[in-house]
Structure 1
Amino acid sequence: MDAVIVDLDGTMVDTLDDFVVALNLMLADLPALSSARVDRDTVAQTIGKGSEHLIKSVLAHVTQSEAAVNLSAGEVLALFEPAWQSYQRHYLTINGQHAEVFPGVVEGLTQLKARGLKLACLTNKPTEFAVALLKAKGLDGFFEQTFGGDAFARKKPDPLPLLKTCEALGSAPHRTLMIGDSSNDALAARAAGCPVWLVTYGYNHGEPIRAVDADGFTDSLLSLMPV
């Protein structure tokens, strides 16, 4: 390998509680849903496909599951824009405050850098949030490039973000390892022609991670030695 592309949420940083806090603050701002709340289990099954998907999924969940909520499909759709604005504002404020770096991440990244590999962070989280989170957790110095879900025309699981990241790193896809925590990462890597390893502790939309088509699995970035 010449380079490694690393996912962020669920791979390097446990951000689940950041999402839960920001989403519940968002719901509290919406008069029609001010009493609704989402829990960790619900959010864990919806993160990973970008903020737009996350917000739409949460709005759909609470309007379908809350007995007191009686909104038409059009009314739910109309909630997206104020929900988006609220979520962006709250997430920017709390980004990283309820998040923890997974054990072994710093040591694993240090090990990869020591081997002369070029590293990039590629996430579906908005780039602004990703850069701020990496800096807050002391991880920004490991990466030559950081790209979020708004950096390219399409998000993972489309292969475009991986191909563009390989291009930015100056590495061929078949010599660039993708490390992630979900089927999104694996599907994108397969389509781009990148080898892919998945961590076993991430989110993966509530599905068993070892059922995903990948080249390998690891319980810690520290024990990742396929390169």
Structure 2
Amino acid sequence: MSSHSDHIYHQSLRAAIIDLDGTMVDTLDDFVVAINQTLNQLALDLVDRAFIEHTIGKGPEYLIRSVLDHVGADAVLYERSLQLYRQHYQEVNGRHAKTYPGVAEGLSALKARNLRLACLTNKPTAFALSLLKQLELNHYFDMVFGGDTFERTKPDPLPLIKTCEMLNTTPSQTLVIGDSDNDALAARAAGCPVILVSYGYNHGKPVDAVDADGVIDRLDQIDRLLIRHLYA
């Protein structure tokens, strides 16, 4: 547990901002299918699951640039690749996705504390809304923002700051829950407390090495963690 945790939870939390891919939902196989369908259509080499797992999380533009570089493709293919990828992802979005164990229970616990919830992801908003609806998680959230909502994406703090404004809370009263240093860096810069899950897509790096206020193995452990620090 980070040294930040002893004081930060004594703030009165009013809301939580929760990441999507790798935090609530395992979407890796959706990415694998969409990326390799794109590469196949362009007659390029396919990429393995491990590479995609270590690359996702920073939005489709970063993902496509990284994939093209990895397979040695000409950068001139970027726009066409991004267009094809979006088409293929729209077709498979949610088809192979699975909600992680404990997610529904964790979200219910946060709602039971009367916290307003926002989902903030670097995934395009339309894909996020569709995925949440398919997995019956949409009803937990007061609002959903994607990587195309604001001028910048995580790890920039702007999306968190803007989401706090929409939630009518301050950053210090808004808990961020994510799976990677994207979430933690954005939260630290915005002034939000941040908890990470241990099982997500942290670009192949150990999540314990990230500066966060705590790490949990399941989202339904969040209530116990909050109680421990609020009433310690």
TM range (shorter): over 0.9
Instruction: Check if 1:189 corresponds to 2:187.
Output: yes
Aligned to 1:45: 54
SS of aligned partner of 2:203: helix
CA distance in 2, matches of 1:90, 1:121: 23
CA distance in 2, matches of 1:206, 1:41: 9
Aligned to 1:66: none
Q: Number of aligned residue pairs: give it.
A: 213
> Aligned-pair distance for 1:132?
0.6
Point out 4+ residue stretches in structure 1 off by more than 6 angstroms. none
Pick from 51, 62, 68 the counterpart of residue 59 of structure 1: 68
Pick from 117, 121, 124 the counterpart of residue 122 of structure 2: 124
CA offsets 1:91-136 (integer angstroms, 9 cap, x no match): 0010000110000001110111111000000000011111111011
Aligned to 1:7: 19
SS of aligned partner of 1:177: strand
The root-mean-square deviation of aligned C-alpha atoms, in Å, is 0.8
SS of aligned partner of 1:153: coil
* Contact in 2 for aligned 1:149/1:155 (Cα 8 Å): yes
Structure with more contact order per residue of length (Cα contacts < 8 Å, sep ≥ 6):
2
SS of aligned partner of 1:197: strand
> Aligned-pair distance for 1:29?
1.1
CA distance in 2, matches of 1:20, 1:128: 19
CA offsets 1:178-204 (integer angstroms, 9 cap, x no match): 000000000000000000000000010
* Contact in 2 for aligned 1:158/1:188 (Cα 8 Å): yes
Unaligned runs of 5+ in 1: 64-70
* Contact in 2 for aligned 1:30/1:82 (Cα 8 Å): no
CA distance in 2, matches of 1:62, 1:139: 36
> Aligned-pair distance for 1:3?
0.2
CA distance in 2, matches of 1:46, 1:149: 16
Q: Which amino acid aligns with 1:167?
A: E
Q: Which amino acid aligns with 1:197?
A: I
TM-score, scaled to structure 2: 0.90
SS of aligned partner of 2:153: coil
Q: Which amino acid aligns with 2:75?
A: L
CA distance in 1, matches of 2:63, 2:86: 12
Unaligned runs of 5+ in 2: 1-12, 227-232
